[in-house]
Chains A and B, each alone.
Chain A
Amino acid sequence: MQVYLPIAELSVNLFFLVGIGGAVGFLSGLFGVGGGFLLTPLLIFSGVPAPVAVASVTGQVVAASTSGALAHYRRGAIDLHLALYLVLSGVLGAFGGVATFALLRDAGQLDLVISLGFLVLLGSVGVLMLVESTRAILKQRKGVVVRERLPNQHNWIHGLPMRVRFKKSRLYISVLPVLIIGLFIGFVGSLLGVGGGFIMVPALVYLLRVPGNVVIGTSLAQVVAMMAATTILHAVQSQSVDILLAFCLMVGGTAGAQFGASAGKYLRGEQLRGLLALLVLAVAIRFGLSLVLAPADVFSMAVTGAAQ
């Protein structure tokens, strides 16, 4: 069944859209990530214009993260105070990201920056995660008891000025690294159409030493609020949010996420992280190859505006 997307101005098979939404939703439920980093490239490869793909996936990420964020909220696993700081700086970053997005699109370098951004981010995060999870798996095989790093250990980042007390996270740290993390993720997320959960979680754990029980919830809450703001920014700035496209992806995504979450119970944490690392690396390599390999067609075209 074909459905006409009014903003993308092309007609796509409805089941294909709901299907990739569902497949990515399954993976995002399995690994506890938003799935934007998979969905945006998939849409671009299937012919949706890159600006429309990035802007519409932003809306989908909101839906994908909402049910998770609500579940964590009910369990009291969100540090709202910390999330507020992250969201405020994140929205500021998103303003910059959306403006840069428009500039790059006009200059014809948006695809390049998207590819480079995905390559660098996913590549480094993927390698780090793979090393960490392999080490954990190997240690467990040998029967070594893995001693978790204590979350309350301080490092130099905490000692910066402007300290704020975050009760739920049991932290009394400088607000500067929090704001910088938020700003960076807001910028990158709006530019690449990803929620940034895969950067946020490691940053909270390793840089801020946020305790494990509030990390995922806080990250999800931050993703929901920041991506909601980004969706509106994209709608206002570039008018490339396709609500029909986003809705099809949302429906598939939220359903798939539930199945993914129940499938995730059969795998252990480090195995999950190892698999996610491989997936992230695969996407990074795909983008890397597209930069290095000679393209099938060196010419491309784009519409820059309606005629006067």
Chain B
Amino acid sequence: MSRLLALLACLLVFAAPAQAERLVSQVSNETIEITSSFAGERMNFFGTIIPDAGSSDKFVTGPFHVVVVVLGPTQNRVARKMSNVLGIWLNTEQVEFNNFPSYFHVLSSGRLTDITDVTTLTTNLILPESHTLAASGSDWWKGAVFGRELVRLMTEQGLFGVQENGVNFPADNFYSARLTLPSNAPPGPYIALTYVFKNGEIIARKSEGFAVRKIGFERFLAQSAVQQPFFYGLVCVILALFTGWLGGVLFRR
């Protein structure tokens, strides 16, 4: 995450000047609260492309393309491969991916390869595979192979995804995008990066943060499990003993 932020900061510093357009954007939810009935949450990203403050233009001219990248908190993950050893299938190879995003969705207003070239997509970490290259260790080839499989597994779980029709333009310079965060979305800080493309070049960008967090009872439980593990276990045992005893009393004939 820190590497990503550093990269982003550099890009912001060096790429900002000499542009006529500016992006004003908004996220519908600043925090997403995980309650006991949490079954996913729908989010909206929207914004307008307007002339920059110092610019003499009265209005902006398109056509524009918008790409919204939503990144979840990073984790260390391993991808493992099974193979058959003496008739038994077992995990024999594994590749670790450090600081790998636990959630990654790309929403765009068209095919990514039509919007810009692969180099721009990769250097800005817009493609899922670019994260595996950034996160894997020494063996480049193995990292690439396992990384592709990791992206596939994450996609099957709904944690990774690319929606190339995810961004709509209701007006020439106004876009909106909708994302449904799944129920298995990991809690933590999220970041939404919005890029505006014109003729294959990034002309404006913006980032917004939002948080997914457990609240109330769920938060209390998750925190006690980590901060007071002994008492948490003890309470679980007492609860079990009580339930067992109560069951015996209630149903005794």
Residues of A within 8 A of B (CB): 1-4, 6-7, 9-11, 59-60, 62-68, 70-71, 108-109, 111-112, 224, 228, 231-236, 239, 241, 243-244, 246-247, 250-251, 254-255, 257-258, 262, 290-295, 297-308
Contacts and interface: CB of A to CB of B under 8 A. Distances in A.
A258 B244 CA distance: 11
Contacts of B73: 306-307
B240 A298 contact: no
Contacts of B253: 262
Nearest to B187: A9
Contacts of B236: 59, 231-232, 235, 241, 243, 246
B245 A66 contact: yes
B66 to A, nearest CB: 29
A297 B80 CA distance: 11
B222 A6 contact: yes
18 contacts: A9-B184, A59-B239, A64-B244, A67-B244, A235-B230, A239-B226, A243-B236, A247-B243, A294-B89, A295-B89, A298-B83, A300-B79, A300-B91, A301-B78, A302-B77, A303-B102, A304-B75, A307-B98
Nearest to B88: A291
Contacts of B150: 299, 301
Contact size class for B? 35 or more
Interface string B19-38: 00000000000000011111
B186 interface: yes
B120 interface: no
Interface of B: 1, 34-39, 73-84, 87-91, 94, 96, 98-99, 102, 146, 149-150, 152-154, 183-184, 186-187, 214, 218-219, 221-222, 225-226, 229-230, 232-237, 239-241, 243-248, 251, 253
Contacts of A300: 79-80, 82, 91, 153
Given A62-B240, A108-B91, A231-B236, A9 B186 contact: yes
- Most chain B C-beta atoms within 10 Å of own C-beta, residue among A224, A292, A303: A303
B35 A299 contact: no
Contact of A4 (B36, B229, B232, B240): B36
A109 B246 CA distance: 39
A235 B98 contact: no
A3 B75 contact: no
Contacts of B81: 298-299
Nearest to B135: A307
A84 B53 CA distance: 80
B223 to A, nearest CB: 9
Nearest to B241: A66
Contacts of B80: 108, 299-302
A243 B232 contact: yes
B96 to A, nearest CB: 7
Contacts of B240: 59-60, 62-63, 66, 228, 231, 246, 250
Contacts of A224: 241, 244
Nearest to B96: A304
Contacts of B233: 231-236, 241
B99 A307 contact: yes
